[in-house]
A and B are shown apart, each in its own frame.
Chain A
């Protein structure tokens, strides 16, 4: 009574020539038919209620002039989107988001590859080193951001003190656009470089050994092996790392939110480090303009999907 349908991957792997159970009770028949659906139902119900429905409803809210507490919000069509396109603060937030993303993804991948290569050596206390590298990943993001806010303090921060030792004038990490982006990007880098290094390390170890043995026979140096064998074979993993950091990076919120002292959500006095999700948060929960914030959410949603889709296409090409 089962198995009437096309299977996914493991078609015919097992149950092919097995005799059917001799007795079939109606109850156990029902069990076999219904239970699988009950087992997967919690995910679909919850995703529908908490994931899908709110996303769709966001699109609906974005068509209204909807303030917190409004009983009868006014339908205004695409007005919120028109305002958004002409909103300098939105474009500024989009610029900041991409700027912070680029500053955090590019150096991170390069350093992660180097660390992975080092970890791939025949180390003593291998697991200890791996744990050490992963330490930042378990840190609480909120605690970490507050600590980095202190390190990058404009007046008495440690970073400026150290720069002062080599004769560099103190930088106002809060006030300058580029400086604040660097500070926020370093939080992201500090947290994720080791994690990505372990992912890349796992991919390195999956490269078959005989490829290297052949290279050694041909007299290739260690450096040459790295650039001609290791790096090309890591490409799919590298792109996976980049794709996942894209989806997360475009939604960055905690770091810019907490980098501003005194609980503000403006992303600095001139919004110099306000990101899109921070602007969304400010519009919805401080400006109380749910309609406009929903328009921001939807535009960002489309951008994330578009960028992730683009990455997916690149991945497919790269894997082939």
Chain B
């Protein structure tokens, strides 16, 4: 707890941990860059020259670009909606007074612990009934707003907006919607950005429900990867070329927004 710089041992241990964290990514590229026949027994850590060839086999085997586009559409729509609707509800819970507010908010918090994933059977039946099975609506609509989002935004907005500001807007004859739009939404920006990043990553990685409700012709990226792997003979240089390609967008996001993601995880720990 002193301000001394730590010893090399600390850096060494942390370095080993981070190397271990990064290794599977590198391994994925390593296998993807080689010829499948080289995979027998002898391992080296030097990449081969076949990555482009293997990647183009991925494009032949699964509708990769379509899956990538679908994943962007799904995660993008879900993220926008979650951020907007959670901020709206969070603003109401934090700053507006209405009958039953306490009970309703308690209900939101309680639903955080409910494993709603276990309702997939009726959900699947309903989607089939609506004719949404196989369509992107089926993976978008159930995720348009989350209990976590509402909780997160409410916790932030309680302190972020002075009550006087909301009151002043009302005195000026602002409707509550305009107050939300012009006062709450700008004030919510830092927390909303974090919620957006987390929602996007979560939606991007969602697997069980998309696997149930989508098919191989119109998949998200995760579902497409599963199809790539589910042949009777697993060709790892092909499959890991797929995982490498699928990892690249996420790594870019992480390099750009990593600092914010770190801050978000740590703040969530203190607030939640």
Contacts and interface: CB of A to CB of B under 8 A. Distances in A.
Interface of A: 2-8, 10, 13-15, 18, 21, 28, 31-33, 35-37, 39-40, 42-44, 46-47, 50-55, 57-58, 61, 114-115, 118-119, 121-124, 127, 129-144, 146-151, 156, 158, 161, 190, 194-195, 198-203, 206, 209, 212, 216, 222, 225, 237, 240, 247, 251, 253-254, 257-258, 261-263, 277, 280-281, 284-285, 290, 293-294, 297-298, 300-301, 304-305, 308
A139 B163 CA distance: 41
Interface in B156-206: 158, 162-164, 167, 170-171, 173, 175-177, 180, 201, 204-205
B89 A43 contact: yes
Closest 10 CB pairs of A and B: A263-B230, A54-B119, A14-B163, A132-B18, A143-B243, A121-B6, A39-B92, A8-B102, A199-B269, A57-B122
Nearest to A131: B258
Interface residues of B, number: 114
Secondary structure of the A contact surface, majority rule: helix
B52 interface: no
A15 B163 contact: yes
Contacts of B20: 190
Contacts of A247: 113, 115
B91 interface: yes
Given A140-B246, A281-B212, A190 B24 contact: yes
B207 A297 contact: no
Nearest to B271: A202
B99 A5 contact: yes
Contacts of A216: 1
Contacts of B41: 156, 161
Contact of A308 (B97, B113, B126): B113
18 contacts: A2-B96, A8-B105, A15-B163, A32-B170, A54-B121, A61-B121, A131-B259, A131-B262, A134-B258, A147-B240, A150-B31, A151-B24, A158-B43, A198-B265, A199-B268, A297-B121, A300-B115, A301-B115
A7 B269 contact: no
Given A141-B222, A251-B117, 4 more contacts: A141-B207, A148-B24, A203-B270, A284-B121
- Which of A2, A46, A258, A290 is the most central at the interface, judged by chain B CB atoms within 10 Å of its CB? A46
B165 to A, nearest CB: 10
Contact of A139 (B114, B250, B262): B250
A253 B212 CA distance: 12
Nearest to A300: B118
Given A5-B99, A51-B119, A140 B204 contact: yes
A18 B163 CA distance: 11
A146 B239 contact: yes
